[in-house]
Amino acid sequence: MSFRTLTRRVLTAAAVATTVALTAAGCGAITNGNAADASGGFHLAEYIQKRVDGGEKLRIKLSYHDPSLAFATPIREGMEKAGTELGADVQLIGPTGGDAAKQVAELQTLIQQQAVDGLAVSSASSDALKPVIAQAYEAGIPIISFNTDNPGSKQMGFVGQDLAASGTSEAKQLRTALGDTASGKVVVFSLDTGAGWSNDRFGGFKKGMEGSGLEVVGPVNVGNEPNAAYNTVDSTMSGQSGVVAIAGLDCCSTTAAAKWVQQSGNAGTITMVGFDLLPQTAEFITQGVVTFTISQNPSEQGYQAVKVLADFLKKGTKISGVDTGAQIIDAKNLSDATVEG
């Protein structure tokens, strides 16, 4: 056993204790699947160890659940920046359209062909990816989650936003914008209400709305096709009365709902809030259609996902979670924010 391998085993075990402490402190987004490994720790694959010892360029791949989404652009930029700085061969992969089965098949091929030295995965369905995460881990491939967490899996860490906490932040900021005495309906939209990230964020949102005089409606699924999403918002809103606010849980539902607010003449009447800072969202903030949005810093997610894996392989640095935060962006700080996409 080489010194690097021994170091990684010791550090990975230490990461378990660190993660348990963080979870107990309420930092639920950071998890470490190593605790579930009965063998006592992670064992780096021999072919990866040889590549590291030989000074070969690390092959690190980030599997995103739908690279066609605009949100993937800044992730790729951050990933490529880290690859350049750290001397790693990086690539953003994944199925167009968010097909979990295709994502799993692609990852299984990489594992079987020993074509990757480190993996970071973002899944639309955490349950679908748990088995393949376990396959990578047991094959000796360092694997983490980014952007969307996979709690209960054998991931070695998570890089991204605390989703439940971000949902709570959105609700509390919305309540501040509406005022303490506000009453009425808040309609919530999501591009995929069945996804784990959506459930986590909506759960946080509901928690943040507790004790208010506001009625939460939804979440309503809109999908990620712009025209279909807009039509769903339009049909949903036509059946509602007494709506004082709309909340998007992601980039695409936010832009679709904001477009409806603008085109229906409800800007200034219905408070619109959401997530992510696509160019369209930035424009809606400038126009006064969107009151605020919450950025999860996707560029930093791409960068840190690569760095965590590269540092583990090259330096034996323990893998732990990185919270990329929740930045509230409104008209006052928009000029200082990074547009996503």
In a domain, 5, yes or no: no
For residues 280 and 319, membership in a common domain is answered with no
Distance CA 133, CA 111 (A): 10
For residues 132 and 165, membership in a common domain is answered with no
Is-above-0.85 flag for pTM? no
Confidence of residue 126 (pLDDT cuts 50, 70, 90): low
Which has the minimum average pLDDT: 30-34, 68-72, 301-305?
Answer: 30-34
For residues 70 and 129, membership in a common domain is answered with yes
For residues 91 and 150, membership in a common domain is answered with yes
Q: What domain count does the chain have?
A: 2
Distance CA 252, CA 257 (A): 9
**Residue 232 lies in domain:** 161-294
For residues 138 and 116, membership in a common domain is answered with yes
For residues 96 and 168, membership in a common domain is answered with no
Q: Determine whether 262 is exposed, middle or buried from the number of CB atoms within 10 Å of its CB (0-12, 13-18, 19+).
A: middle
Distance CA 120, CA 303 (A): 11
Q: 181-207 as b/e, with b when 16 or more CB fall inside 10 Å?
A: ebeebbbbbbbbbebbbbbbbbebbee
pLDDT in tens, 190-239: 999 988 889 999 999 999 999 999 999 999 999 989 999 999 999 999 99
* Boundary (domain end) residue, out of 273, 294, 315: 294
For residues 178 and 242, membership in a common domain is answered with yes
In a domain, 339, yes or no: no
CATH value at residue 100: 3.40.50.2300
Is pLDDT above 80 for 19? no
**Three-class SS state of 185:** strand
Distance CA 174, CA 167 (A): 11
- The answer to whether the CB of 245 falls within 8 A of the CB of 254 is no
For residues 173 and 58, membership in a common domain is answered with no
Confidence of residue 16 (pLDDT cuts 50, 70, 90): very low
Question: Mean pLDDT over residues 139-150, rounded?
Answer: 94
For residues 172 and 269, membership in a common domain is answered with yes
For residues 310 and 287, membership in a common domain is answered with no
